[in-house]
Amino acid sequence: MIRLTRLNNQVLAVNSDLIKFVENAPDTVLTLVNGEKIVVRESTEEVIQRVVAFRRAVLAGMPSAGTDLNSALAPVKHPDAEHHIHHQGD
C-alpha cells in the first residue's frame, strides 16, 4: 500500500498492485484495474517513486539472489522426528 493525498487533503492508502496507469490530466489521475479513478495531489513521478519504494521494501524481505529456494522452502523437520519410526503392522 502507498499513501497518497486526495485534492481535499484527505490521506488515503492505495494498493499499488491495483493501479493500471497514472496520468496527468492536468491533475494526477490513477486508474485502477477495476476502472475506478482516483485524483491525487502527488505528481505522476511521485506516485511512481512511492510504488517503486514500496516494492523495494517488499523485495528486501525475500531471499537474496543465489539462495537455494528449494532448501529455503523445505519443511522444517522436528528434532524428535527420527525417534518416532513407525513400522508397518505396529
- Tell me whether residue 65 is in a domain: no
- Tell me whether residue 35 is in a domain: yes
Instruction: State the Cα–Cα distance between residues 79 and 71, nearest whole angstrom.
Output: 17
Q: Are 38 and 6 in contact (CB under 8 A)?
A: yes
Mean pLDDT for 1-5 is 96
Say what the pLDDT of residue 72 is: 45
pLDDT (tens digit per residue) in 7-46: 999 999 999 999 999 999 889 999 999 999 999 999 999 9
Instruction: State the Cα–Cα distance between residues 22 and 32, nearest whole angstrom.
Output: 9
pLDDT (tens digit per residue) in 49-58: 999 999 998 8
Say what the pLDDT of residue 61 is: 83
- Tell me whether residue 21 is in a domain: yes
How many domains does one find in the chain?
1
Residue-range definition of the domain harbouring residue 26: 1-55
Predicted model pTM: 0.66
Residue 71 reports pLDDT greater than 80:
no
